[in-house]
Structure 1
């Protein structure tokens, strides 16, 4: 890494600060949090009023969407995007995590390690997934059923996302520490409410739709950001700016994409400035993309469905050696 490269990020940071893009947007977040909680609470009221009915599956779909939207707020709070004071971000994070049953402490710790070393095969927990292989080295270590799943990971990727919600609950209970009792209470209250209002068949169907779609939505929101981008290994010489930009991908789109992906579609800007409030990311995108073009740094950006195509193509390519006969 040259001295010039080390100073590039300082120059970019100055431009971002001068544009006022790191200033907190409490009004935006107050409106967003209020709207989310009103819709989320309204869905549970509808659940109580509808009773034992197949219409509850429609409620489950709404809850899956809103559970993800609450998770996006928890993500922003974890990055201290909402308030200047640490305690208010923590409180917001704990409340939202408690509602959806995901440990705030565990997830923030895991996510911070991802931000520090994105797409690093040894340091990024997001590329350390037992049923997937993101490098041939990882593929060679797979054995038994895990190897079979990894060898067909491109075909199985989206079906596996329906299990992501259950995995988040399980890991939260296992690794949550002081939040463990809150995580267990969330699961107990949730199951008690569902089986109290619904008969067993309807209850199981409701849980499968709610938790399955929530996991699928979460996975589809995070998957386009890094999967299929370069995977780093020990000894790389990239500076902070290039490490974050070259391993991340943006997703093009308007206001609906911003809402759908919770601002994660501006992944490059988010990784460069994690504490930047969500509504400022689209304004930073123009500054960052122009800066990267000027400094000849590859800036990846594509449409949503094309991003999924890149993910599947990459997974298929990496798993090819595992499909060859021994």
Structure 2
């Protein structure tokens, strides 16, 4: 296949090489921010790529560590940005997968204490997983606040209303070794405009890990659980027939590697070619998992390949 398919190692591909890859794969997993959109703006050509893959009968899924919004809101965003054929069942966010894990895997018997945004609580409600409603008085401290005894899990996600009291309460709950400790993801930061960054869920999880001496179970990428959710809900999802497309080497490429998927780095987001090449030269075996199989400037590079397939 023009020397592209099956050759691991950070290869930039185009034209007929992409066409052969599209023919070889039946399922495509896309990260969202940095791959198909930037905030409220779709990456040029991305809606056409996604809509065309779906019309061709390919299995298309979206795997995002963003836990701040429920899947229903994602559907509205996809439609708003021109992705007209995306439905809720194709979206696997870290908040949704966390709710599924608590309900179907952990089978939690009790309430969940949430450090996170409304997106997490919404998905817990949809999955009928009970969580602790916070009703602390304005002057509450860890010395006088209520600590219910029926909390059986702590779930940490992105929380722009994070407080020291939340950290302290979670630490108290996790003193019980039978209380589950989960995190939607361990992303360290996210890019903002003008070179600013937004601390990610991984920062909050790390604080709680230090406070408790425990390690969180990570639900989102690069953990395998998101892929297990997909394969349990859609029949015939063979890792050999999947391509993971992302923009972050340490998250998206590692996720693909952990799940046995071929990976593609698009250069419209966080990681760039120089970083991928540096990992490819590394003698550390664990860093080889960060190396993409293929690299494209943007997923809009798929468009000429579609024309060849017509």
TM-score, normalised via structure 2 length: 0.28
**Which structure features the higher share of helix residues?**
1
TM-score, normalised via structure 1 length: 0.27
